[in-house]
Amino acid sequence: MSLDAYGWEPFFQRQLPGPPSSETGRVRLATARKVDVFAEDRTVRVSLPRNVGAAAVGDWVLFNPKKRIATKILARRNALARNRPGHAAKRQVLAANIDVAVIVAALDRELRPRQIERYLTSVLASGAAPLIVLNKADECPNSEAAASTLRNADPRYPVITTSATTGQGLGTLEDLLPERGTIALAGPSGAGKSSLINAMLQSEHLTTGSVRSQDNRGRHTTTRRELVVHPKGCLLMDMPGIRELYPWSSPEIVDQVFPEISSLGQDCYYRDCRHESEPGCSIQAAAQDGSIDPGRLASFLELRREQEELERSAGERRWGAA
Ligand SMILES: Nc1nc2c(ncn2[C@@H]2O[C@H](COP(=O)(O)OP(=O)(O)OP(=O)(O)O)[C@@H](O)[C@H]2O)c(=O)[nH]1
Ligand SMILES: [Mg+2]
Ligand SMILES: [Zn+2]
């Protein structure tokens, strides 16, 4: 198979040639010092020496086929990243070189728009196109109402309802996926990410797991990121469920996630208004007269704070201060 099938592009071609006799492959599975790559005519496991760096699933690597050692990780076109939980500023790349990030939520539990806004904050920072999937539509009598709630809050992104169990909405989902693109599925444990991929592949390739009966939360069945090839040609990346996502993003991206709120901030009396209790704050004024959603406002303020803090910590690390 040609490497085009795995998303090879001029952007990566321009980074060649590598060392003579090296081969190119795309990482489909990664552990700390070993990666499985899709190469032209086979899948091969190569070791990843420390000096080469850390590879993420979706990365392109050069490797020495005889020694089965990776020699270089090619520069990424983009990456979906988070701040490692429990760290002030430690970037963790979740997925490299992706075109679409599918944010999967499940309809067998309460819809959490705040959680989706967190994912959007990560996805917009990556540059991948977001697509919101509300799965387990078979478990929810008014799945369309849930989808409408999200569309009304922000009409910019597609929101679709699916069921990995009955197959409902899978055709619509597949139609929205770019034919040659790389698509990462992210979302909380138990939302049905692995089930959706299996349903699209019409195979039981990925392990799926039950949810806890008291609150329908998942049990973190998927423990590694993995890239699989869809029969139509696109690549699907399964990801472990994320408990609480701390996006690696920026205050400016948060503004983009909440345009109806951030645009009001330009009219605040103080230029550096924090939109809390300052006089002349047009965002608080809009909150008081009910013209912005209080849930979205709280989410906007929280994510702004978080990203400002991250920017400060990351900057301090970069300059070696404090
Ligand atoms: N009723 C219903 N159940 C589903 C659907 N999709 C998945 N499930 C079930 O939900 C449970 C969790 O599915 P998984 O596919 O393992 O969920 P996941 O998002 O991959 O979870 P992690 O790997 O833990 O992050 C399994 O018992 C699935 O059978 C659906 O559309 N409808
Ligand atoms: Mg899974
Ligand atoms: Zn303000």
Per-residue pLDDT, averaged over 213-237, amounts to: 87
CATH number of 79-238: 3.40.50.300
Domain 79-238 shares a fold with domain 251-319: no
Judged against a pLDDT cut of 80, whether residue 171 lies above it is answered with yes
∠ CA 111-234-65, nearest 5°, is 125
Ligand 1 contact, 138 CB (< 6 A): yes
Is residue 250 within 8 A of residue 308, CB to CB? The reply is no
* pLDDT attached to residue 216: 74
Q: What is the pLDDT of residues 10-62, one digit of tens each?
A: 899 888 876 777 899 999 999 889 999 999 989 999 999 999 999 999 999 99
Span 126-136, pLDDT tens digits: 999 999 999 99
Strands (E), 34-111: 34-38, 43-47, 60-64, 69-73, 79-83, 91-96, 100-106
Instruction: State yes or no: cis peptide before 17, omega within 30 of 0.
Output: yes
pTM over 0.85: yes
Q: How confident is the model at residue 276 (pLDDT cuts 50, 70, 90)?
A: confident
Residue 182 CB less than 6 A away from ligand 1: no
Quote the CA–CA distance of 74 and 61 in Å, as a whole number.
Answer: 6
* Cα 275 to Cα 104: distance, rounded to the nearest angstrom: 31
Looking at ligand 1, which residue's alpha carbon is closest to its atom 13? Answer: 192
Per 3-state DSSP, what percentage of the chain is helix, strand, and coil (rounded to 5)?
30, 20, 45
The CATH label, of 1.10.40.50, 3.40.50.300, 3.60.15.10, 1.20.1640.10, for the domain at 251-319 is: 1.10.40.50
Q: How far is the CA of 194 from the centre of ligand 3 (A)?
A: 42
- 235 CB neighbour count, 10 Å cutoff: 24
185 has which bridge partners? 102
Domain boundaries, the chain: 3-73, 79-238, 251-319
**Beta carbon of 135 within 6 Å of any ligand 1 atom:** yes
Q: What is the pLDDT of residue 213?
A: 73
Q: Is residue 117 classed exposed, middle or buried when 0-12, 13-18 and 19+ CB atoms within 10 A define those classes?
A: buried
Mutate to test the pocket of ligand 1, among 139, 195, 222, 243 (most ligand atoms within 8 A of CB): 195
Q: Of the bound ligands, which one is closest to the alpha carbon of residue 192?
A: 1
Backbone angles phi, psi at 182, to 5 degrees: -110, 125
Phi, psi (degrees; rounded to nearest 5) at 144: -65, -30
Neighbours of ion ligand 2 (CB under 5 A): 193-194, 221-222
SS3 59: coil
Instruction: Point out which residues pair with 63 in neighbouring strands.
Output: 23, 70
208 Cβ inside 6 Å of ligand 1? yes
CA distance 121 to 128: 11
pLDDT tier at 319 (50, 70, 90 boundaries)?
low
State percent of the chain over pLDDT 90: 77
Task: Work out the angle at residue 53's Cα, subtended by the Cα atoms of residues 47 and 57, and round it to the nearest 5 degrees.
Answer: 70
| DSSP codes joined into one string, 163-182 | -TTT-TTHHHHHHHS-TT-E
Residue 318 pLDDT grade (very low, low, confident, very high; cuts 50, 70, 90): low
Task: Give the ligand whose atoms come closest to the C-alpha of residue 137.
Answer: 1
Cα–Cα distances (Å) from 194 to 42, 80, 158, in that order, read 24, 19, 21
* CA of residue 206 to ligand 1 center, whole Å: 11
User: If you measure from the C-alpha of residue 296 to the centroid of ligand 3, how many angstroms do you get, rounded to a whole number?
Assistant: 15
Nearest to 257 by CA among 170, 181, 157: 157
Residues in the chain: 322
Q: Is the pLDDT of residue 321 over 60?
A: no
Q: Which fold has domain 3-73?
A: OB fold (Dihydrolipoamide Acetyltransferase, E2P) (2.40.50)
Residue of 194, 203, 208 with the most ligand 1 atoms within 8 Å of its CB, for mutation? 208
Ligand 1 closest atom vs CA 135: 31
Find how far residue 290's CA is from the centre of its chain: 32
Which tens digit of pLDDT belongs to each residue from 88-134? 889 999 999 999 999 999 999 999 999 999 999 999 999 999 999 99
